[in-house]
Chain A
Amino acid sequence: MFSYILKRILATIPVMAIVAVFVFLLLRLTPGDPAAILAGDAATPAQLERIRDRLGLNDPLHIQFFTWIGQMLHGDLGTSLISSTPVAGMIGDRIGPTISIAIMTIIISVLLAVPMGVIAAWRHRTWVDFLVMSFSVLGFSVPVFVIGYILIQIFAIELRWVPVQGYAPLSDGIGPFMTRAILPSLTLATIYVALIARMTRASMLEVLGEDYVRTARAKGVRENVVLFRHALRNAAVPILTIIGTGFALLISGVVVTESVFNIPGIGRLTVDAILARDYPVIQAMILFTAGIYVFVNLIVDVSYSFFDPRIRY
């Protein structure tokens, strides 16, 4: 297991290197000029040219690339061209809200979706199954911002149980944190509940037809034990995969939800950086996202063996 994990970690190096080259070139080939954003609308072409010189944007591409790679190898993510702020600090400020919302979303989703999927499979082709699948289609189909606005209207404006917007870190207390994180998490959870419930149902349907399930039932094992200990555990691999991918997606930023609830997270940071062509921030964010995906996939792969002992590395 240890050597497997080590190999996987080493394998991330070429992956990240390819992502770095690709992102760097892609950004330089995209139209746009950070100097123009920095200087504003009234700057003359000559002023822009001087600013580009100062920012190193007129240097040959290979010089710019090696300067950036050199910084990265020294653990320096660079400085924002627009705000002159260290990129690492910018990501550090924004990652907290994103991770908090992602964890809460996944917890809500798993708590709701797994039992829903199991019950739908158990009551296959009954009204319960139909109800779960209908919710699932709804969760997929309704745009996330619509759900967000509906929840705001009901819980923040009509009932006034929670604020309309904003984020409070856990260090401000569980109350402020929960009241601000619950609506965005519920909003995002609608998609993930739909996704995980469908996946759970499909996997469970496959497993419930297996001989060992029939045997367990024939032995008189209680139905909840059959479902949750025998069947669900064997159906867990695809469910874990979808939870892992979902978590990585949430960490890499959910810009619409962050905008609707005014959460200063990673998604808004990335979109703002793209609109301003703030190269160091975009490059760092894409590498960061790639790293998250690699890490989450590793965790998911390792966790397979926990649920299915037949899987060995």
Chain B
Amino acid sequence: MQSLKPLSCMKRSLAAAFVAGGVLSAPAVANAQDDGKTITAVMHSGLRVLDPIITTAHITRDHGYMIYDVLTAVDDNFEPHPQMADWEISDDKLTYTFTLRDGLKFHDGAPVTGKDVVASLNRWGKRDSGGQMIFDVTESLEAPDDKTLVWKLSEPFPPLLGVISKQSAVPPFIMPERVAETSPDEPITEYIGSGPFVFNKDKYEPGASVTYDKFEDYVPRDEPPSWMAGGKKVNVDHVVWTTMPDNLTAMNALAAGEIDYLEQVQVDLLPVIENAPNVTVEMGDPLGFVTIGRPNFLHPPFDNKKVRQAALLALSQEDVLATMMGSDKYYKVCGAIFGCGTPLGDESGSEPITSGAHPEEAKKLLEEAGYDGTPVVLMQPTDVVSLSNQPVVAAQALRQAGFNVDMQTMDWQSVVQRRAQQNPPSEGGWNIFFTNWMVPEISDPLINVMLSGRGDDAWFGWPEDPEIEKLRDEFAHAEDQEARKAAAVAMQKHVMDNVNYIHLGEYNMPQARRNSIQNMIPSPVPVFWNMTKEAE
């Protein structure tokens, strides 16, 4: 062998590497926009659907609150307040007259008129279950002039204001008439609202990034902000939502000051960020989420009430929640189907599910029910972290109680397609699946879709349950809060007895922010008004 000469080539490579190193070692990174005018946030999911009426996706609802406004909104006591409009109710409680406040403008400069509101409410009423109930008793909805809206009912509907003020899943966002005339089964293609932020179409990359600019002409209300109600004062010029599929990357980016806010911190990764300087980890959402199991009422064995009751006895909220969240700081055993701490929350009849697993009692009930070992097809989605653990714990608990469980793993898309199948489980159907809801989505009988007992027209699982329909009707026509609460408690007892679904408790996810972000409003929906950012 001869001496090594060809290293000139390697030298060139090394030189190139040093040049690159020189570029890189230039003073580090000012990735976060630290001018105090732009907030960069990582939300729980990427924004892909821009129509907040066609979908119940939370990220699209959050987007809705950025660019649209609502007629009325709830505060942290669940009380409706005027937002775009004040209201008057006639003595016979059949006519609601709304008056739009001054200064309301869409982002294209056009004033918000009664016609826009009528068209928006009509479209929303065809999509939202609560809205459909109002329109079932609506005689007319008209705008006699630009500022006024008159809603006439054929019979009193006391929860009307509560339903149109709801914060989730589909609030009645107000859009221009020409946009709101789009079919409710077709996504809108123009994204103009009258809310505090303007959607920046040029910077939108579906699923990757969305930018909102401050709407300079927005006139906030004078009242202090509280949840979705009160003044929406914007203190920054831009808000950027960037999607980070990897939670660890998002936490590193927050610690390095590259982003300002992380909506959900994965609990098992908390140690990465808990002690990071200039970062605060806290509970931003005061209510959190519930996790549930939904049996299929059409096929054996869950077409039998005693078998459903046995399943309720077999399961333990504590076991499911502990497996999901790891730390009891982030979950709560709670038997209230309307959520603990909400106005209608009540835990009556929930002991079977809140006091641990009762496999022996469940076995006895199964015997009484004559359960013949029919396999229970239990669907387990593996690609959604928040939904992949409950089925595993539930399957084991059900087996211990004597159920013959056939746990089938699949992706979430396969679950959503299969749960719509009414066939018997042996022919592509199913017996039980699990999902999660935000507490505001189950906190009211008119909003909670799992409480519908209208058979084929009900939510997946299709219970035919005249009793719960009667109770919902009683709730809808209750004159005062006391009567509403009584109806809600009756529903709570009924659901625990009939096992319309299995309420598996509450959990919550912490949020994290740079300390430069201040004045955030604690709310079930993350909002960016009132928030301030100091330069770091």
Contacts and interface: CB of A to CB of B under 8 A. Distances in A.
A276 B413 contact: yes
Contacts of A152: 249, 252
A160 interface: yes
Contacts of B248: 149
Interface in A151-196: 152, 155-157, 160-166, 174-175, 178-179, 182
B393 interface: no
Contact of A40 (B50, B55, B186, B383): B55
Nearest to A42: B56
Given A182-B24, A272-B207, A83 B435 contact: no
A164 B449 CA distance: 42
A182 B246 contact: no
- Interface residues of B toward A: which range? 35 or more
A33 B255 CA distance: 38
Helix, strand, loop or mixed for chain B's interface? loop
Nearest to B57: A40
A206 interface: no
A38 interface: yes
Interface string B95-114: 00000000000000000000
Given A46-B457, A262-B246, A272-B207, A41 B56 contact: yes
Interface string A38-49: 111111111110
B256 A163 contact: yes
B535 interface: no
Nearest to B206: A83
A268 interface: yes
Contacts of A43: 55-56
Contacts of B6: 118, 223-224, 227-228
Interface string B1-32: 11111111110010010001001111011010
Contact of A262 (B7, B9, B185, B242): B242
Contacts of A276: 48, 413
Nearest to B459: A44
A83 B49 contact: yes
A46 B459 CA distance: 10
B160 interface: no
Given A178-B20, A262-B246, A45 B460 contact: yes
Given A40-B55, A161-B28, A53 B185 contact: yes
A223 B5 contact: yes
A31 B7 CA distance: 57
A179 B21 CA distance: 10
B355 interface: no
A44 B457 CA distance: 7
B343 interface: no
B187 to A, nearest CB: 5
B413 A259 contact: no
Contacts of B4: 223
B439 to A, nearest CB: 14
A308 interface: no
Interface stretch (B64-72, B416-424, B497-505, B525-533): B416-424
B24 A83 contact: no
B153 interface: no
A85 interface: yes
Interface in B206-250: 206-209, 242-246, 248-250
Interface string A43-66: 111111011011000000000000
Nearest to B412: A275
B328 interface: no
Contacts of B459: 42, 44
B89 interface: no
A264 B56 contact: no
B82 interface: no
A275 B415 CA distance: 12
A155 to B, nearest CB: 8
A260 B253 CA distance: 11
B46 interface: yes
B187 A84 contact: yes
B189 A165 contact: no
B3 A223 contact: yes
Contacts of A32: 411, 413-414, 416-417
A181 to B, nearest CB: 11
A182 B416 contact: no
B200 interface: no
Given A41-B56, A160-B28, A112 B13 contact: yes
Contacts of B209: 264
Contacts of B411: 32, 275
A82 B48 contact: yes
A57 to B, nearest CB: 11
Interface in A234-261: 259-261
Contacts of B457: 44, 46
A40 B212 CA distance: 23
Contacts of B414: 31-32
A277 B8 CA distance: 52
A51 B54 CA distance: 9
Contact of A268 (B29, B245, B416): B245
Contacts of B207: 83, 268-269, 272
A165 B253 contact: yes
Interface in A110-129: 111-112, 115, 118-119, 122-123
Contacts of A219: none
Nearest to B6: A224
Nearest to A46: B457
B256 A157 contact: yes
Nearest to A97: B208
Given A83-B49, A178-B20, A268-B207, A160 B29 contact: yes
Contact of A164 (B2, B60, B185, B252): B252
Contacts of A111: 13, 16
Interface of B: 1-10, 13, 16, 20, 23-26, 28-29, 31, 46, 48-51, 54-57, 60, 127, 129, 169-170, 183, 185-187, 189, 205-209, 242-246, 248-250, 252-253, 255-256, 258, 383, 410-414, 416-418, 420, 435, 437, 441, 449, 456-460
8 contacts: A36-B416, A44-B449, A85-B206, A90-B205, A115-B10, A164-B31, A179-B29, A268-B208
Interface of A: 31-33, 36-48, 50-51, 53-54, 80, 82-85, 90, 93-94, 111-112, 115, 118-119, 122-123, 149, 152, 155-157, 160-166, 174-175, 178-179, 182, 217, 222-224, 227-228, 259-262, 264, 268-269, 272, 275-277
Please give me the 10 A-B residue pairs with the lowest Cβ-Cβ distance, nearest first: A224-B6, A40-B56, A83-B206, A32-B413, A264-B208, A36-B416, A42-B56, A31-B414, A224-B5, A223-B2
